[in-house]
Structure 1
Amino acid sequence: MFKPTPSSPLFTVTPKQTTETLLVNASETLSSLNALTCTLAFDLDASQRAIMLGIQQLAKLGQLLVDRALEQVSPSPI
């Protein structure tokens, strides 16, 4: 009989990262998701394309929110 053992997480975030670093990485990840879903959407039929573009819009909204938080945490010099 197989007894499952707890495994370590596949992905982790090191605990001592700054908020700015976390936000920059989140923004880059969402930007990649946006590009991937946008590219994939045009390889799909109309109904699936609409779903993929909905996902793409959510990714873009998430990126806009993260970018605004990043501006508040670390304003760019003028």
Structure 2
Amino acid sequence: MNKLIPDPPVNTAPTSEAPEAEALLRDREAIKRALDYYLDPPDQYLEKPRSPSTMFMIAPNMDTESLLAQVCESLASASVMASDFAANLLGPQRNTALAIQQIIMLAELAVNRALDNVDPQAT
């Protein structure tokens, strides 16, 4: 990394300040290496693109209706679990759990509407 403004010249004449000048040069070199490392890292330190895990994968040939039905069932289960959990809480924690349950319920309603739009004969 090159600087736009150069450092002031270091006095190279042999004086009693020679050890200080050498220390200053070493410090400048260390600073330059640190800045180069953090501002312009080598390729080996660059992040590699994330590849998703295939441990849990939905079959690519699944139809939209089946996917929406599965989501609807999962949201219904999550809603019941959040409601049961809220029953065991008091005060602000209960209100938070009930708010989470309500968000899940709203998502379930949206998925049900999407499912109705996909297969209107089922209603």
TM-score, normalising length from structure 2? 0.54
Q: Give the Cα separation in 1 of the matches to 2:114 and 2:86.
A: 28
Counterpart for residue 89 of structure 2: 44
The one-character-per-residue Cα deviations of 1:31-78 (angstroms, maximum 9, x if unpaired) are: 000000001101012110000000000000000000000001011357
Q: Secondary structure at the match of 1:29?
A: helix
Residues 24 and 13 of structure 1: CA distance in aligned 2, closer, same or farther (over 3 Å) = same
Q: Give ranges in structure 1 of 5+ residues lacking alignment.
A: 1-5
Counterpart for residue 33 of structure 1: 78
Q: Give ranges in structure 2 of 5+ residues lacking alignment.
A: 1-50
Counterpart for residue 16 of structure 1: 61
Counterpart for residue 74 of structure 1: 119
Q: Give the Cα separation in 2 of the matches to 1:59 and 1:77.
A: 23
8 Å contact kept, 2:116–2:122: no
What root-mean-square deviation, in Å, do the aligned CA atoms of Structure 1 and Structure 2 show? 1.8
Q: Give the Cα separation in 1 of the matches to 2:105 and 2:59.
A: 25
Q: Give the Cα separation in 2 of the matches to 1:16 and 1:77.
A: 22
> Letter of the aligned partner of 1:25 in structure 2?
Q
Deviation at 1:13, TM superposition (A): 1.3
